[in-house]
Structure 1
């Protein structure tokens, strides 16, 4: 009897040999192994994805348009940004970011982790460059500046209309076309011009925003000192009101070179008398168009000139100008400038070669002179 009991206790259950149980046990075992292996693989990928990368220094990389996740991973590996393209791809799939990667130029920090690299590309925060256009340049000169920029692309078919662009510092991304930037500059000029024209002082002797641009372009050329612009603008506004000729030297120069460059010689008496359409010594009122592209400050100065009655100004020897209401006062100021100019020449003649000048003043022609 005892032997029968022992036999019953050690005999395997028939259910244990059931095919479904066997298959179930196998599947469970495989799942357990897969979980263990998968968990290990996930840990390896996650650990690598969050570890510092091989990049020895900050660098920029351009991601081309229509690049897939594998293309991007391969490029990043080639550039030394990441060490394993497959880890990056696995991380991108894990983050569900494969469809969010954006083309452009990106800046990656030294030793950036693959996670940081992925986040940067997904963010779309591409590198931006400053393109600075100084006030007063002609449209031809602006195009020359844009042609010198290595981050811009394309050619300019024709320089824009003179005075139609707003000089400013513009942020662009690599690959922006020069035509695109010129259109943007034109839009900014129109926006600024409308605001300034709408806020202009009453009784200006100007009939349209275009005339404001013309006069502002002259003011821009006459002084580089920001604080003087409203005063210089007032002189020209006062002269227009009194029907006096503007007599601005920069208009003589523009009439000769027509915006194609600089006049590499002093203005002569023949130049002053030459009846070009832009020579305000020879014509009444405003010239037929701008002589450059004025900045916002010059546009604002013309729209709201200083409340002074001056109709003359001349260089003061320090880079600025002195203003006068009468011709007699102006002639005295001119005489002072001539004396200072003569002293500068004498000091320059006695200064040893290579030494700095003593006054720091810059030569300037008298404008307006009558």
Structure 2
């Protein structure tokens, strides 16, 4: 009899093992299979939220088939304690595994309402916008110039919402003085800083939170620029007339101010590198302007002949070689152009038209350059 009981118990255990294995396989399949979401949603994970609360929100939104399986899968992947606060775009058909990865890997929020503080070369604006999860496009809700306009009600309203995200968008070619001035006026950062060295800030987009220290934000910008510069310097072309990463940064800032056309940055870089190699003066207006303004605001007029003749550390019509510091904060593309210029014999360039977006005409000889200058002057006269 005991033998029969033992045999039946063993059979029962075998059945249980097979059933358990089947349930496990089924659960794993449900966790990784395409989810029921029929269109993208914006999932908000608040600070202090738990995986249970997130799973409940997902189930209510129809994004997952089982909150229990979602939590068990997160536990099994050892991610239950790794929730990151933010607003996340959950795509159509996302599996539970994919959603767990989205809400635990961190990084910038990918949807919801955001305020963007845009610091440009000539002005600064504040933009309130919201991502439509279905179309994947941002819809502008308000935009204003904080120096000239009152704060719109839309902006005041989103400032009161706990889930509003904030970003600083730094344009290529802004000066360090401009950055510090604008950061001090946006009203969401704490503290103040001295103006950092010119060229040391990486133009990019930075997510911030109200109450962040301005010094910490500036440090992030500086760290990013150091990484970009170090990598570009390591991969630089051979035989450049540049003795240090700092000189490369200075040249990159001049390239940045001379052209906003991404396709011709490497050509502009070749002109300056060729001039340095031949012992020719750079003769570039943006350096002269920086010597007048010190990067504090925009000159707002053309250069005078007396200014082009005046000897300053930044007047490249008078001094040899590079100026002593960068004249703006160059972006990654200009840094890479400075350290890997196009292979040309160009030593001159002048604007093609009165619209800077149209780029420049390049020349190898003075005669060719003079002809290009004459064509540009004719356009100026016709416009007048």
Q: 2:380 matched to 1:341?
A: yes
Asked whether the equivalents of residues 201 and 225 of structure 2 are also in contact (C-alpha less than 8 Å), the reply is yes
Within the candidate set 109, 116, 137, 1:128 is matched to 109
Counterpart for residue 166 of structure 1: 202
- State the Cα deviation string for residues 128-162 of structure 1 (Å, max 9, x = none): 38422111111111223434556x42133212111
Within the candidate set 354, 366, 370, 1:327 is matched to 366
Change (3 A) 1:103 1:299: closer
- 1:305 & 1:144 partners in 2: Cα distance? 33
Could you say which structure has the higher strand fraction? 2
Change (3 A) 1:153 1:64: farther
TM-score normalized by the length of structure 2: 0.59
Change (3 A) 1:333 1:108: closer
- Residue 361 of structure 2 aligns to a residue in which SS? strand
- State the Cα deviation string for residues 294-315 of structure 1 (Å, max 9, x = none): 1111111111111111111111
**1:171-210 alignment runs, 5 A limit:** 172-175=207-210, 176-210=212-246
Asked whether the equivalents of residues 308 and 315 of structure 2 are also in contact (C-alpha less than 8 Å), the reply is yes
Within the candidate set 278, 281, 286, 2:314 is matched to 278
- 1:268 & 1:159 partners in 2: Cα distance? 28
Asked whether the equivalents of residues 349 and 369 of structure 2 are also in contact (C-alpha less than 8 Å), the reply is yes
Within the candidate set 340, 343, 349, 1:313 is matched to 349
- 2:379 & 2:323 partners in 1: Cα distance? 32
- Residue 290 of structure 1 aligns to a residue in which SS? coil
Counterpart for residue 50 of structure 1: none
**1:58-137 alignment runs, 5 A limit:** 128=109, 130-137=167-174
Runs of 4+ in 1 over 4 A off after TM superposition: 58-65, 99-109, 122-127
Change (3 A) 1:149 1:322: same
Asked whether the equivalents of residues 126 and 173 of structure 1 are also in contact (C-alpha less than 8 Å), the reply is no
Could you say which structure has the higher helix fraction? 1
Counterpart for residue 122 of structure 2: none
Q: 2:332 matched to 1:296?
A: yes
- Residue 254 of structure 1 aligns to a residue in which SS? helix
Count the aligned residue pairs: 281
Counterpart for residue 248 of structure 2: 212
TM-score normalized by the length of structure 1: 0.61
Comparing 185-194 and 251-260, the one that deviates more: 185-194
- Residue 143 of structure 1 aligns to a residue in which SS? helix
Change (3 A) 1:253 1:173: closer
How far did residue 163 of structure 1 move?
0.9
- Residue 131 of structure 1 aligns to a residue in which SS? strand
Change (3 A) 1:126 1:286: closer
- Residue 350 of structure 2 aligns to a residue in which SS? strand
Unpaired runs of 5+ residues, structure 1, are 1-57, 74-81, 83-96, 110-118, 346-370
- State the Cα deviation string for residues 263-288 of structure 1 (Å, max 9, x = none): 02211001101111111112111000
- Residue 323 of structure 1 aligns to a residue in which SS? strand
Higher Cα radius of gyration? 1
How far did residue 103 of structure 1 move?
8.7
